[in-house]
């Protein structure tokens, strides 16, 4: 078991996560869904109970996005806008990956992003129930 600490840019949100081993042994997800490409996030997935928040969790702003009929809460620091990651929602029947939390590893301290085992995930069409982002292309761009 290895514990890592993370926080948002301004420090309001502080937490630790405990993984079965080194983060460099875990599959880190780089997802191409409509949200993740916009956030630029990289995820480690683990059971929600393995994340321990020391401050700021109650302050997080939530964006609820559904993939098909399955919901996830995407969570942000209300002060600095850092994207902390997503959590499954209750009740579990409507949750996207029940009991799971995906932490944005870009918020973790003292890790080397270049050494992570980053795996592509096809969330764009792989989650079922496509979400079409309203794409603004500008007056003349296309």
6 vs 123, which CB is nearer to Zn ion? 6
Q: Which residues contact 47 (CB under 8 A, 6 or more apart)?
A: 99, 100, 101
Tokens (6 digits) for 114 = 């270049």
Q: Binding segment for Zn ion among 4-12, 25-33, 94-102, 115-123 (CB under 5 A)?
A: 4-12
Asked if 116 touches Zn ion (CB under 5 A), the answer is no
Q: Binding segment for Zn ion among 5-13, 16-24, 36-44, 109-117 (CB under 5 A)?
A: 5-13
Chain positions 24 to 83 lying near Zn ion, rule: CB under 5 A, are 77, 79-80
Q: How far is the CB of 55 from Zn ion (least distance, A)?
A: 10
Tell me the site size for Zn ion, rule CB under 5 A. Answer: 6
Asked if 113 touches Zn ion (CB under 5 A), the answer is no
15 vs 96, which CB is nearer to Zn ion? 15
**Cα 32–Cα 67–Cα 26 angle in degrees, nearest 5:** 50
Chain positions 8 to 27 lying near Zn ion, rule: CB under 5 A, are 8, 10, 12
Q: How far is the CB of 58 from Zn ion (least distance, A)?
A: 14
Asked if 107 touches Zn ion (CB under 5 A), the answer is no
Site residues (CB under 5 A) for Zn ion?
Answer: 8, 10, 12, 77, 79-80
């Amino acid at each position: 078991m290895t514990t890592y600490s993370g926080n948002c840019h301004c420090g309001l949100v502080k937490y630790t996560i405990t993984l079965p081993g080194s983060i460099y042994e875990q599959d880190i997800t780089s997802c191409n869904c409509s949200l993740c490409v916009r956030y630029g996030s990289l995820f480690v997935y683990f059971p929600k109970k393995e994340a321990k928040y020391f401050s700021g969790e109650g302050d997080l702003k939530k964006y609820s996005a559904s993939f098909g009929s399955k919901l996830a809460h995407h969570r942000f620091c209300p002060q600095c806008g850092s994207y902390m990651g997503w959590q499954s929602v209750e009740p579990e029947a409507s949750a996207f990956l029940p009991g799971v939390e995906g932490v944005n590893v870009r918020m973790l301290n003292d890790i080397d992003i270049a050494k992570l085992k980053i795996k592509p995930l096809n969330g764009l069409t792989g989650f079922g129930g496509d979400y079409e982002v309203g794409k603004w292309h500008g007056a003349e761009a296309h």
